[in-house]
Amino acid sequence: MVGVSYSPTQPMSIHSVPTSTRQSHVPSTTILIPNQNIPTIHQFITNWLIMDPSLLNKYQHNKKQRRNYQIQPNENMKFVYLLGGRFRTIKTKPITILTGLVIVIPGVLFWIFEAKHIWRDFHPAIVILFSYLWWLTFMFYFKSTTSDPGIIPRNIHLPKTLQNNKVTNPPEEYFNTITLPHNKHNVQVKYCASCHIWRPPRTSHCSTCQVCILSHDHHCIYLNNCIGERNYRYFLWFLLTAVLSCIYLLTITIIHLTHTNINQSIRKHPVALLLFIYSILALIYPFLLLLFHVFLTSQNLTTREYLNYVYKIKNSGYVNGFDQENIFKNLYINWIGKSGGIALVRPRDKYEPGDLRFENIEPLELAIAVSER
């Protein structure tokens, strides 16, 4: 494969690349506003608390070196960073906030209206166990929605025909699907024309996030994040703890309402009835999704593989080269045993000017459609 490659965790300088191939991250039409005209509280909120890299170019930051998360190589990328690059989400419909409220609201209602009564009349352990399950659910939700799903750096494998931030006459193999042996079977790898990398097996380009994700399972609209190599386990445990929390809350409310006369209990504790209904409604979708992912993990399949090769194409003869041929081993790998690995792009590292990973290189024109598959 003809091209230029480098270690993805190390910055790659373009000082050796002709000047014509470099491109500034500050558009020439942007009006720069000096730092001293911006209130400190405004800089704190927009540059650390909630930071949108696409808006940072409006301001001059000559006195302070930028970090990787403050550089956005592609205007179509939608990342927004929180707390100085420690967490991330994407600019889209704030459905993840609604998901968080669905988790927080029943907990708050329980602690305000139910916890005291159950602690006194039943047993403190009931309240403690619910609080523990709720905390696990919220933490797995937070990790799933704000962590790196396995983003691969851009521009790792650039053809030598790069001129003016555009690849001319790329090698023919960059448009082909390459078959490689793996675990007694074959796997396929493709070149991503948008990210300019040879994608490892199971890696896919997310059209929403505009990045390639290792072991890409799916893009979750309820979490505003991709689910992949580095956060799939958090996602699985989020589903499990959410289902357990709903079942446990449902059980508590049933016992509470039927402990004495049910009509009297409803009049005296209407929130218990509300939580009962809430638990049933909130249980349905996560439970079905959990069953689906238990099935997938028992076969060591991703959602994309199942939908594209198993479900969509009946009797296609698809062979899963990652199946360990043991259900329990597959479950162990996905739920417990598989490490999330390290971040291939460290957002909080200092940005080195000329780092090719953060340069805006135009996609290969003839392969744009291919790279999105």
Residue 365's pLDDT is what? 66
Tokens 């007694």 belong to residue: 184
47: pLDDT strictly greater than 70: yes
Dist. CA 370–CA 228, nearest whole Å: 21
pLDDT digits (tens, 9 = 90+) for 167-220: 666 677 777 777 777 777 778 888 888 888 889 988 999 988 889 999 999 999
Question: Please, which residues bridge with residue 191 across strands?
Answer: 198
Q: What is the pLDDT of residue 37?
A: 61
Q: How confident is the model at residue 2 (pLDDT cuts 50, 70, 90)?
A: very low
| The predicted structure's pLDDT at residue 311 | 73
The pLDDT score that the predictor gives to residue 168 is 66
Q: What is the mean pLDDT of residues 290-318?
A: 85
Residues 201, 189: contact at Cβ < 8 Å?
yes
Query: What average pLDDT does range 156-176 have in this prediction?
Result: 71
| Nearest alpha-carbon partner for 158 in 25, 266, 21, 309 | 21
Per-residue pLDDT reduced to its tens digit, 235-288: 999 999 999 999 999 999 999 898 888 888 888 889 999 999 999 999 999 999
Residue-by-residue DSSP string for 315-373: T-----TT--S-HHHHHHIIIII------SS-TTSBP-TT-GGGS-PPPPGGGHHHHT-
Domain locations in the chain as residue ranges: 19-371
Q: What is the mean pLDDT of residues 287-310?
A: 93
Query: For residue 144, how many other CB atoms are within 10 A of its CB?
Result: 25
The reported pTM is 0.82
Higher pLDDT, 323 or 75: 323
What single string gives the DSSP state of each residue in 38-103?
Answer: S-HHHHHIIIIIEE-HHHHTTB---SS--BGGG--S-TT--EEEETTTTEEEESS--HHHHHHHHH
E strand or H helix that includes residue 213:
strand 211-213
Residue 225's pLDDT is what?
94
- When comparing pLDDT for 56 and 157, which is higher? 157
Q: Are 286 and 220 in contact (CB under 8 A)?
A: no
Hunting for tokens 């003869």 — which residue is that? 317
Annotated catalytic, 209? no
Structure tokens at 325: 């041929």
Q: Which residues pair with 80 in a beta bridge?
A: 89
CB atoms inside a 10 Å sphere around CB 120: 10
Q: d(Cα 296, Cα 133) in Å, to the nearest integer?
A: 24
Is residue 293 helix, strand or coil? Answer: helix
Dist CA 85 CA 125 (whole Å) = 38
What single-letter amino acid sits at 161? T
Distances (CA, A) of 303 to 124, 204, 217, 265, 308: 41, 12, 5, 44, 8
CB 215 within 8 A of CB 228: yes
Amino acid at 267: R
CB 158 within 8 A of CB 4: yes
pLDDT at residue 19 above 70? no
Q: What is the pLDDT of residue 312?
A: 66
Q: In the predicted model, is pLDDT for residue 36 greater than 70? A: no
User: What confidence tens digit (pLDDT) does each residue in 347-371 have?
Assistant: 888 888 878 888 777 777 654 444 4
DSSP 217: -
pLDDT bin (cut points 50, 70, 90) of residue 163 is low
Considering 195, 206, 220, 246, which one is annotated as catalytic?
Answer: 220
Distances (CA, A) of 341 to 118, 209, 224, 228, 231: 43, 20, 21, 11, 10
With b meaning 16 or more CB within 10 Å and e meaning fewer, what string describes 74-93?
beebbbbbeeebebbbbeee
Q: What is the mean pLDDT of the chain?
A: 81
**Tens-digit pLDDT profile for residues 329-342:** 999 999 998 777 78
- Reading the block at residue 209, the tokens are 């996030």
Would you place residue 24 in the very low, low, confident or very high pLDDT band (cuts 50, 70, 90)? Answer: very low
Region of residue 3 (left: phi > 0; alpha: psi -120 to 50; beta: else)? left
User: Looking at residue 344, what is its pLDDT?
Assistant: 84
pLDDT band at 79 (very low <50, low <70, confident <90, very high): confident
